[in-house]
Every structure is written in structure tokens, then in C-alpha cells.
């Protein structure tokens, strides 16, 4: 007779706002979940980065396309515009495409009022939601002389223009285009309090399933608990590069799945049918 064991507790490591929503949604599916944000998100603090961000906002119309790396990039790029609806008006008035690597970023763009017809993103059936999948969709748009703005985050210490998406920039350059980068937000290592550290140490060996959506989060976890034995820890990674980082950190079991919520839920539940 088929018996179904309860799925493991999920440890959600996304930034705090996203983690809270994921915990709520997982619990609604009958999955025990706890938030342990491993990336802290905030507005850029460096004056030079803030000035560069304002300049980028002012010259949106000069770009063939604007690529937002995440929902956080969308939120922080538009949140300081003074006039209500400026994001919609600015993008509607210019011939600029808007690129998104996955459904979360698309949803954030739609929340600004941007119509779906202006957004290019990998299809819902894409094997991954990343730069490689996005490039397959948008490559025909780029001609010699075109410029693309990549709106991304900056990891501490702050770097000019932020960090990440160099592969995509290389493809654009090879097609004859040029890329400008701007940092719209900062990613920082969180400060785990005593309760957070206790949760992490317990979850390292009690069968909990760590939901990992960022290699940077893995780095922050290892730094927060130096010397921790992760050989009994289990992780579910939403990209092969994240899975590689988890294995390098010492996680004993690392599963992989696409980053959609439905597939994460299915992956959590499927190993527990006996």
C-alpha cells in the first residue's frame, strides 16, 4: 500500500520580503517552512552609485533594451522616481524593449504597469530562467551600435555598476552591441542573530531541506557558521551553478529543480512517497 510521508521542513533563504511570502505559500501547501534570509537587500548607499542610477533613469530612451536581473532590480530602479507613474510613462514613450530573466522579474515589471507586449523573457517551459535562456529570446534584437542597460545589484564592497551578468554582456558585445551597467540595489551578508544561528545549525542535520536560489547565499551561510559540518545537510538548488556551490560548501545531498514555485513544491514532496 502506498504511504506518503510528510515532506521535510523547508528552509527558505531568499531575501526577507521574498522569504516571508515563500513561507506563507509553502505552508498553504501543507509544507512546514521557516525563513532564514541569507542575503540582505537595500538601496545603494554609495553616492557615486546613486548618481549613476539617476543618470541611467534619465536616459532610458537612449537604449535599445533595458535588462532587469531580478524583481529587486525593478523595485529599486523605479521606487525613487518622484512623479507617480513615471516608470510607465518613460518606458511607454520610448522604443526600448525590457528584458527579464524569469517570471519573478516579469511579475515585478507588470506591477509597475508595463504591458506584457513590451517585455521579453524566456518561455514558461524554459529549462532555466537565466541569462543563457534570455539570450536565446532576445539575440535577434541586437544590431551593431545598439546599447543595452543592465540593471543589477552590487555586492559589498560596492563595485562601479554592480556585479553579475558578464556572460550576457559578452554576447551583446559579440553581436556588435554595447552594454552599460548600473547598480540599483545592494546585496549584503545578513547578520544572523542567536535564533538564526541556532536554526541554521539544527537544519544542518535534522533532515530539513534548504531552498537555495543564489550562490551568494551559500557563501554567506558558510561565512556565518565557520567550521559547521554540512555533510548531513540537504539542499534543493534552482540552478546548476547554485548546486555546484552547495556541494563545494559540503552539503551532503543536493537536488536540483527549476525555480518556479510549482516545481519547487513538487521537488519537496516527491522524494517522500514510499
Beta-carbon count within 10 A of 31 CB:
19
Fold of the domain spanning 42-188: Rossmann fold (3.40.50)
Beta-carbon count within 10 A of 188 CB:
16
Q: Which range is least confidently modeled, 3-17, 103-117, 179-193, 212-226?
A: 3-17
The predicted structure's pLDDT at residue 45: 86
> What pTM, to 2 d.p., does this model score?
0.77
**Is residue 211's pLDDT more than 60?**
yes
Q: Determine phi and psi for 207, rounding to 5 degrees.
A: 90, 0
CATH 3.40.50.10090 residue ranges in the chain? 10-39+191-272, 42-188
Q: Determine phi and psi for 37, rounding to 5 degrees.
A: -60, 130
CATH architecture assignment, domain 10-39+191-272? 3-Layer(aba) Sandwich (3.40)
pLDDT in tens, 181-193: 999 999 899 999 9
The predicted structure's pLDDT at residue 124: 83
Q: Determine phi and psi for 62, rounding to 5 degrees.
A: -85, -5
**Is residue 138's pLDDT more than 80?**
yes
Q: How far is CA 142 from CA 50, 69, 91, 169, in A?
A: 28, 18, 18, 12
Instruction: Determine the distance from the C-alpha atom of residue 115 to the mean position of all C-alpha atoms in its chain, rounded to a whole number.
Output: 22
pLDDT in tens, 220-271: 999 999 999 999 999 999 999 999 999 999 999 999 998 889 999 999 988 5
Cell numbers for 155, please give them: 555586492
Place of cell 533613469: 57
The predicted structure's pLDDT at residue 224: 94
The predicted structure's pLDDT at residue 79: 76
Instruction: Determine the distance from the C-alpha atom of residue 257 to the mean position of all C-alpha atoms in its chain, rounded to a whole number.
Output: 15
Amino acid at each position: 500500500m502506498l504511504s506518503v510521508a510528510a515532506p521535510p521542513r523547508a528552509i527558505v533563504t531568499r531575501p526577507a520580503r521574498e522569504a516571508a511570502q515563500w513561507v506563507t505559500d509553502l505552508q498553504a501547501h501543507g509544507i512546514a517552512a521557516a525563513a532564514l534570509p541569507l542575503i540582505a537587500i537595500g538601496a545603494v548607499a554609495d553616492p557615486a552609485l546613486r548618481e549613476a542610477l539617476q543618470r541611467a533613469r534619465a536616459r532610458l530612451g537612449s537604449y535599445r533594451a533595458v535588462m532587469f536581473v531580478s524583481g529587486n532590480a525593478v523595485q529599486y530602479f523605479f521606487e525613487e522616481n518622484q512623479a507617480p507613474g513615471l516608470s510607465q510613462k518613460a518606458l511607454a514613450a520610448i522604443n526600448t524593449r525590457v528584458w527579464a530573466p524569469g517570471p519573478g522579474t516579469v511579475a515585478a515589471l507588470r506591477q509597475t504597469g508595463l504591458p506584457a507586449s513590451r517585455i521579453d523573457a524566456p518561455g514558461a517551459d524554459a529549462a532555466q530562467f537565466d541569462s543563457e535562456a534570455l539570450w536565446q529570446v532576445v539575440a535577434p534584437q541586437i544590431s551593431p551600435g545598439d546599447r543595452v542597460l543592465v540593471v543589477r545589484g552590487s555586492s559589498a564592497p560596492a563595485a562601479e555598476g554592480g556585479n553579475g551578468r558578464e556572460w550576457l554582456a559578452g554576447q551583446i558585445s559579440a553581436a556588435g552591441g554595447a552594454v552599460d551597467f548600473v547598480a540599483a540595489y545592494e546585496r549584503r551578508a545578513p547578520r544572523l542573530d542567536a535564533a538564526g544561528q541556532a536554526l541554521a545549525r539544527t537544519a544542518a542535520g535534522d533532515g530539513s531541506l534548504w531552498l537555495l536560489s543564489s550562490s551568494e547565499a551559500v557563501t554567506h551561510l558558510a561565512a556565518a557558521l565557520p567550521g559547521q559540518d554540512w555533510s548531513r545537510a540537504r539542499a534543493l538548488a534552482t540552478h546548476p551553478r547554485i548546486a555546484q556551490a552547495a556541494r563545494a560548501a559540503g552539503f551532503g545531498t543536493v537536488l536540483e529543480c527549476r525555480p518556479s514555485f510549482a516545481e519547487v513544491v513538487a521537488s519537496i514532496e516527491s522524494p517522500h512517497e514510499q
